[in-house]
Amino acid sequence: MKTSDDTHVLLDGFPHYPEDEMLRRAVAFQESMRSRRSVRQFSDKPVTRDIIEACVRTAGSAPSGANHQPWFFACVGSAEKKREIRRAAEAEEREFYSGRAGEEWLDALAPIGTDADKPYMETAPWLICIFAQRRGGVREGEDRKNYYIHESVGIATGLLIAACHEAGLATLVHTPNPMKFLNTICDRPETEKPFLILVAGHPAEGAMVPKHALIKKPLEEIAAFL
């Protein structure tokens, strides 16, 4: 690797912990993330914009192909826009659940209990509509090809979900298919592809989650140490 004082700076501010503290922190984070659940019954209790801004800043700190940061987060809090998104999403979902999905997909979704009704899209205070940018670059106004777009936006979304959870916000990844309507409603250019909608807010009192979601594969099934 080539470094020079012109192009590089010393790694600064990176935390160092004693080994037992490292393990303690890793386990504490794992424990915290264990209580994350996709929630589909939200309260209308408001969530201030600065909380969402902080979570999106965390997402924006994610690694990305050539550091092009090929993401955009349209944070929708207005009641009219949320209604528009709900209407458009439900129209697609009706098609999906009445045949477009196919039997195998509907079968896989059955234990979750989802259907075409998405009232939470209006009840929850925030719909974070995430877009993937085909072109962009590091600096504002650049028009360069982006790389590893899906991988990068997926990682940023993961950080966003973790940040929301740490802040005490419930989330739901919602992916109506197709989602082209989001470009119009969120006023985003054609070069951006809607990636997913992250619903964020407080869970409703007595919110239920599917037992199916509690089944997580054990470490032996998801990892090998070679």
Ligand X SMILES: Cc1cc2nc3c(=O)[nH]c(=O)nc-3n(C[C@H](O)[C@H](O)[C@H](O)COP(=O)(O)O)c2cc1C
- Interacting residues toward ligand X by CB under 6 A: 37-38, 40, 112, 114, 172-175, 213
CA triple 213-214-215, angle to 5 deg: 95
CB nearer ligand X, residue 138 or residue 173: 173
Q: 142-155 burial, b for 16+ CB within 10 Å, e for fewer?
A: eeeebeebeebbbb
CB nearer ligand X, residue 51 or residue 209: 209
CB nearer ligand X, residue 137 or residue 154: 154
Nearest approach, Cβ of 18 to ligand X (angstroms)?
A: 32
Burial of 86 (0-12, 13-18, 19+ CB in 10 A): buried
Cα gap 215→124, rounded to integer Å: 26
Residue 72 pairs in a beta bridge with 131
CB nearer ligand X, residue 72 or residue 120: 120
CB nearer ligand X, residue 16 or residue 210: 210
* Run of H or E including 165: helix 149-166
Residue 193 pairs in a beta bridge with 132
Is the backbone of residue 69 left (phi > 0), alpha (psi -120 to 50) or beta? left
Indicate the length of the chain as a whole number: 226
Cα gap 127→119, rounded to integer Å: 12
Nearest approach, Cβ of 204 to ligand X (angstroms)?
A: 15
Nearest approach, Cβ of 127 to ligand X (angstroms)?
A: 13
Nearest approach, Cβ of 134 to ligand X (angstroms)?
A: 19
CB nearer ligand X, residue 173 or residue 208: 173
Nearest approach, Cβ of 73 to ligand X (angstroms)?
A: 16
Nearest approach, Cβ of 105 to ligand X (angstroms)?
A: 11
